[in-house]
Amino acid sequence: MRIVTTAIADVLLLEPRVFPDRRGFFFESFNRARWEELTGLQNDFVQDNHSRSCRGVLRGLHYQVQQPQGKLVRAVGGEIFDVAVDLRRSSPTFGQWVGAVLSDENKRQLWVPEGFAHGFMVLSETADLLYKTTAYYAPQHERTIRWDDPDLGIDWPRDVQPLLSEKDAAGTAFRDAECYP
């Protein structure tokens, strides 16, 4: 596995070592010892989630004000544009975002640390995401920031029409969001 740094140092893009042959391929999607060696992080992943969405679905920008979740995200089918937004007021990158294309073809994973909002847009006909979290889902603590907030200026793919849930369409403006210290 190889770590690719992003514009926000705490958000990491991981590229696994893939072993293809005529039968298909094999790769380790997670190895705790290797993770700790490469990242220096000792995360205790407590929950795995699987999401399937159709083209244009935009989920997010989600975060939890208590029990913040770190997320290790990968697309096991299809392709997404994945985004992490820094919500840590004490961070030099507060209010900045990083985006990456994750797909079943490139097998990349995005590490979204605690203290970040997370969202994604599906670029393929459907996409299946698997992601590990460092804290349990706590709906009473979940918050949503508008995906198209002008203060964030996220450069979402323009050739896909966003399809939003009611919750995501009613997200809070970034300037009014509950952020982390």
Q: Please report the pLDDT score of residue 142 as a whole number.
A: 97
**Residue 62 among the catalytic residues:** yes
Angle, CA of 155, 97 and 126, to the nearest 5°: 60
Q: Report how far residue 117's alpha carbon sits from residue 133's, in angstroms, rounded to the nearest whole number.
A: 13
Q: Report how far residue 72's alpha carbon sits from residue 123's, in angstroms, rounded to the nearest whole number.
A: 19
**Residue 141 among the catalytic residues:** no
> Which secondary-structure segment (H or E) carries 89?
none
The one catalytic residue in 131, 137, 141, 180 is 131
Q: Report how far residue 60's alpha carbon sits from residue 92's, in angstroms, rounded to the nearest whole number.
A: 23
Give 107-173 as a DSSP string. --EEEE-TTEEEEEEE-SSEEEEEEEESS---GGGEEEB-TT-TTT-----TTS--B--HHHHTPBP
The one catalytic residue in 50, 62, 141, 180 is 62
The residues of the chain scoring below 70 in pLDDT are none
> Which secondary-structure segment (H or E) carries 60?
strand 58-64
2-18+29-176: what fold? Jelly Rolls (2.60.120)
Q: Please report the pLDDT score of residue 158 as a whole number.
A: 93
Domain spans, the chain: 2-18+29-176
Q: Please report the pLDDT score of residue 156 as a whole number.
A: 98
Q: Report how far residue 62's alpha carbon sits from residue 78's, in angstroms, rounded to the nearest whole number.
A: 21
Q: Please report the pLDDT score of residue 10 as a whole number.
A: 96
